[in-house]
Amino acid sequence: MSQTEKIIEVENLVKKFGTFTANDNLTFDVYKGEIFGFLGANGAGKTTAIRILCGLSSPTSGKAIVAGYNVGRYPNKVKSNIGYMSQKFSLYNDMTVKENFRFYGGIYGLSQKEIVNKTNFFLEKLEMEKTRNVVLSEIPLGWKQKLAFSVAIIHDPKVVFLDEPTGGVDPITRRQFWEMIYENADKGTTVFVTTHYMDEAEYCERVSIMSEGKIEALDTPTNLKERYKVDTMNDVFIKIAR
């Protein structure tokens, strides 16, 4: 992680829905190659913030720059320069593995040749060559999650947003998934991740915890545990969010 190059810059970001303030003056930076955990209770405002950072919603006031583009002014530039994956929606169940790669590669403007190369690269890496022509609905969840992550980074984005990527998968697959995250962060991809598994919060380089629209804490897991005088991130979370 390089502390110099900022991939996400958020300054005094506010988002209101009517009289309700979903994001209350958020300010933080995320660096190149960093694994950044974005935690908070249900309803704390995480989804709203992620939607803004992905260019899907514009801030009421304040500034956010993602992958070099102002999200309010150039939302489409932001969209084409980031990757996104969530547990709820990622790939198309009625298309084959290959078709999913081709579809997303096409959306991100890759050439036919690039799409073929990337598809081969990921399938070989995941040891899933045999699934190339299998319809996605027939593939086990754990494999799907790994494919979805690969598809999300098919266009080599500077930052990838992972929204609860490991929900429901078995503990071995969950760990394999994190190995993929580490590997890509080491190569310089910034990883912005939400999770309800508190052991996964420990895997992040820095973690922010939101409560009622505000960022209540932002630091390394080690520093957070020291500050709140507890042994686990689970206890830190409970102290802040309760």
Partner 1 sequence: MSVNIKISNISKSYGAVIALNDISLDINSGELFGFIGPDGAGKTSLFRILTSLILPTSGLASIGEFNVVKDFKDIRRNTGYMPGRFSLYLDLTVEENLNFYASIFNTTVKQNYELIKDIYEQIEPFKKRRAGDLSGGMKQKLALSCALIHSPKLIILDEPTTGVDAVSRMEFWELLKKMQNMGMTILVSTPYMDEAALCDRVVLMQNGNLLAVDSPSNIVKAYKGELFAVKANNMHPLIDELLTLKNTSQVFRFGETIHITSTQGDAVDYVTIVKKHLAEKGYEDVIISKVDPVIEDCFLALMDKDVE
Residues that bind partner 1 (CB under 8 A): 40-44, 140-142, 164, 167-173, 175, 178-179, 182, 186, 196-199, 202-203, 221-222, 232-234, 237-238, 241-242
In the complex with partner 1, the residue whose CB is nearer, 7 or 204, is: 204
To the nearest whole angstrom, how small is the minimum distance from the Cβ of residue 182 to partner 1?
Answer: 6
In the complex with partner 1, the residue whose CB is nearer, 60 or 173, is: 173
In the complex with partner 1, the residue whose CB is nearer, 119 or 184, is: 184
To the nearest whole angstrom, how small is the minimum distance from the Cβ of residue 198 to partner 1?
Answer: 6
To the nearest whole angstrom, how small is the minimum distance from the Cβ of residue 186 to partner 1?
Answer: 7
In the complex with partner 1, the residue whose CB is nearer, 24 or 114, is: 24
Give 124: exposed, middle or buried? Use CB within 10 Å, 0-12, 13-18, 19+. Answer: exposed
To the nearest whole angstrom, how small is the minimum distance from the Cβ of residue 217 to partner 1?
Answer: 14
